[in-house]
Structures are given as structure tokens and as C-alpha cells.
Chain A
Amino acid sequence: MIEFSDVGLRYGNGPEILRDLTFSIEPGSFHFLTGPSGAGKTSLLRLLLLSLKPSRGKVTMFGEDVSDLSQDRLLQMRRHIGIVFQEFRLLDHLTTFENVALPLRVLGQAESEYRPNVTELLEWVGLGERMNALPSLLSGGEKQRAAIARAVIARPKVLLADEPTGNVDPELSSRLVHLFAELNRTLGTTIILATHELPLLDKFSYPRMLLSKGELVIHD
């Protein structure tokens, strides 16, 4: 599904942030992406999100070399990728329901079409009662569950999560990772979850990709 071959990334004329990355991700798998701060986790996620192009090497996603793709094709491929951020990035003026429904609105669906699906998903992530609340009224855990629901509502093939547990307490972190695991099991979504919380990694037996100084030192 995803293949990196000798991939390097630099911003402008600066030093290489990522070096010689070679790995592949199978469909339906779950990977932790870890490493110290500044190791290049976010840059790697941005490559996976197709918001950056590699400076060298080859990235293949869904069977296509991403370096030659047109803007339109990149946009179509990006719709197969969901993203969850540490800081949630919910739109403050929209309710939980409207935030989660956003990807479907972007795809041109009418509210009558997406309302049952969004309602069902919100109930599944435990936000059925908070559907009409604005993000400012949600707790950190609720915001992150809403962000996860928004990322998966359009059934992406890949779900990327950038430090999704960074703003919640350890107990809630564990519950959120369980939620990702449940999505992986029930929907078959490929998940790459970036975190630097080692205790969290120890609770789960998923393969790890360890980045250090821009290089992939472990990929099991």
C-alpha cells in the first residue's frame, strides 16, 4: 500500500531532515511511529499525507509514484488519507456534528445523505450526547474523539495520527489508542500513529518505526 525507497527530505537548501528511508506498509496494518522530538516524525507524516514531496527517492502510495502526480490526482489520493493532530484542529464555530461531517460536505454529500452515518459514528466514539456542542465546550478527550471521527468518516484507507495523545492524560491516552485499534480491526483502516510516549507503546504490541536524527533505525 505504501512504499518508501531511499527517500530523503530537505526544506529548501537546508540539511536533510529525513534520510534514506526505506520501508513498506501493508494494508490493514497498525504501526507506531516513534522517536525523540525533532527526529522527523511530523515531516514523515507530512510526506505520507502528500502535503510534501520527497527531495529524493521514491514514494509509492496505492500503487502510484507520487512524485509525478498532478494536483488533481494528489487531491484524489489525499481523500484516501485521514489525519488526526495533537491539537485537534476542530473548527471552533462548527458543532461536533458539523466538524465530523466536514469531509463528507467537501465530497459534495447533502446533509440528508450523511446525517445517519455521522450520527452513528459519533455514537460509536461516545459523543452521541455531545453532537450539538461547540468544541469550546468539549473536554480534551472529547475533542480528540471528535477529531478521530472526522478523520475516519469518509472511510480513508490510511489514518495518520500525529501525537494524538499529547494533550490528554495517560489513562485517556490508552483509551484513545484502543479506539484506533478498534477502527483498525473493524474498518480495516491502515493506521500510523506517531507518539513519543514510550509507556504507551509498551501497552500495545503493534510494530514500531523508530526514527532517530532523520533515519529509520527500527522498523519491525
Chain B
Amino acid sequence: MIERAAKIFALLRRRRGAAPIVPEKSVAGRTLLLMITIMSFLSAVTLGGVVLVQKSAIAWSSDVGRELTIQIRPVEGEVMESNLRTAVSLAQTTPGVASARALTIEESQQLLEPWLGAGLDLTAIEIPRLVVVQLADPVDADIEGLTRNLQAIEGASLDTHAAWRQQLNTMAGTIVLSGLMVLALIGVATVLAIIFATRGAMASNREIVDVLHYIGASNRFIAGEFQGRFLSIGLQGGLLGAAATLLFFAVISTAAGNVLSSEAGAQMGVLFGRFALGIDGLIGIVAVIPVIAALTAITSRMTVRRYLSETS
């Protein structure tokens, strides 16, 4: 596939004008092309992963941020059902609240099942009860007012899930930062590989460089000739890497959909997102192509200029 793409590019280039002064085969083309393709793939996958994590974290944080939980602990002398009604009423009258609903005793028991097991009769035991509050607008909701009003109910407390959100944001931020660091390291590794490949190409094309010097070519002209070759390799590598990445995400997305049951898939989707890159993720992956090509061209040009100034 790589070879086929390289041939198409070479054909297009030849049609544009005269034969390249730096021969195509001499610039360690195939190895470098493979290396740049791999680096582009790694960069694009990392970028896609970062985008996925960030999107999931934002979506999760936003969902969690739209929900509050009022917990009412059983207190001796207090009537739980009455307190629940009061709490629901207080919540519903708070500005920015869309709805408030007390969980039934059955729903509360279901929440405890993972810890206490199924089949237990909890009617004899007083357990804490929850009121789920949905916010219409998390920014304008009067949460302080609700907290203040709930003080009138003995044993009531309000959980805004702030700690969860903070932990989630910290975790997502760490993953995004790690991804960006990996991207930077891949960039450095790519630059180093291009420098070595360029110096190797210059050494093996010493005769061409000498002849060009003798016929009056400037270092700038010679660097431009080599840059042209490397730009072409960078473009091909970037394109192949980006295509491989899109294929990779398509396969992963399909595989995730097929392997998991629809219920498990839905839960995974809630937790980790849907492996859907979205338009911003696609733009990021496609942007890898010109970035890698430019990186390759600029690095090779600088390396050639330095090599020429060292040797001339």
C-alpha cells in the first residue's frame, strides 16, 4: 500500500515538470516513509484518544453537574415521609430547579443491593432516603438557598457531587496532559529520525551536492531540492498515518458495539463515551497530515542548510 501510494505521488510530481535533481530512491525513501507513517499514526491515535477523553469528561461532568441529591437520614422522632415531601417541595420552589423526586423505598433498597445482597427485607430497618433534584440551569440554580432551607429538616444534607466532578476533571486533565506529552515526544522522535535520515541522504548524495555547487547552485537552492523530496515523503507518511488512524477508530468503534451487549454498551457509553470522534476529532486527525509534512520539510531544510554550511 505504501509503495503504491509512493508511486502515485512520484507520477504526479514528474508530470508537473523536470525530473527531480535529488533522485527519489536515494533519500532512504521507503524506510523513512514507513517511519513517518508510524509516527503519524501514533500522533493521530494519541490526539484522537485525547479528544475522546476530553469529550467524555466534559459530557460526564456536565451530566453530573445537572443533578443534586438530598439525603435524609432517619432521626428518631422525625417522620421520614413527611420530611421527604418537605424536601421535594423546598427543592421544587428553588430557582433553577427543573424537577425533584423522592426515590421510593423499593428504589432505595435496589441501590443498597450491591452491598447488602438481594432478597433482604429492609422494611423493618430505617434507611436513609434520597431526593433526586434535576437542575434546569446549573449556573443560575440557587444551591446555597436550597442548602439553607434544608437546615429546617432534621437529618437532611445536600450532595452537589462537587468532589466527584473535581476528581473526574483532575483525572481527565491528567490524561489529556499525558497525551499531549506523548504527542510532544513523538514529535521530537520524528524530528530526530528526520535529522538522521537527512544527514544520511546528504552523505549518500555528496556527488550531487558537489556538482550543484560547481555549477553555481546556492545552499538555499540545494536545501530546497532536498526539502521538496522530504516534503513529499512527509505528506505521503502523514496521509497514510491519518488514514490508518481513521480506520483504527472505525474498527474499534464497530468492535466495541459488537462485543458488548446493548445494555453493557450503553453503560460503557455513559462512562467512557461512544468512541465517536466527532468533527473536532476528525479535524485533529486530518490536521496531522500537514503538520507532519511541514515538520519533515522544515527539519530537513534546516539539517541540509547546517550540513552544507559545515561542509562548504
Contact = CB atoms under 8 A, between A and B. Distances in A.
Interface stretch (A28-36, A91-99, A169-177): A91-99
A98 B215 contact: no
Contact of B211 (A49, A89, A107): A89
B12 to A, nearest CB: 17
A87 B216 CA distance: 19
Given A89-B207, A91-B208, A103 B216 contact: yes
A102 B21 contact: yes
B118 interface: no
B209 to A, nearest CB: 11
A137 to B, nearest CB: 16
Residue among A98, A106, A111 with the highest chain B CB neighbour number at 10 A: A106
Nearest to B218: A75
Interface in B210-250: 210-218, 221
A79 B19 contact: no
B77 interface: no
Residue among A83, A93, A103, A111 with the highest chain B CB neighbour number at 10 A: A93
Contacts of A95: 19
A78 B207 CA distance: 18
Interface residues of A, number: 22
B14 to A, nearest CB: 12
Contact of B215 (A72, A93, A103, A111): A103
A93 B216 contact: no
A94 B221 contact: no
B213 A94 contact: no
Contact of B213 (A51, A98, A101, A111): A51
Interface residues of B, number: 17
Contact of B17 (A79, A89, A91, A111): A111
Contact of A94 (B17, B19, B217): B19
B215 A102 contact: yes
Nearest to A101: B18
B214 to A, nearest CB: 5
Contacts of A94: 19, 21
Given A89-B207, A91-B211, A105 B216 contact: no
Contacts of A78: 214, 216
B289 to A, nearest CB: 28
B145 interface: no
Contacts of A83: 214-215
Interface of B: 17-19, 21, 23, 207-208, 210-218, 221
Q: Which 9 pairs of residues, A with B, have the shortest CB-CB distance? A: A79-B216, A93-B23, A106-B217, A103-B215, A78-B216, A83-B214, A89-B211, A111-B18, A75-B218
17 contacts: A75-B216, A75-B218, A78-B216, A83-B215, A91-B211, A93-B23, A94-B19, A101-B18, A102-B21, A102-B212, A103-B215, A105-B18, A106-B216, A107-B216, A111-B17, A111-B18, A154-B215
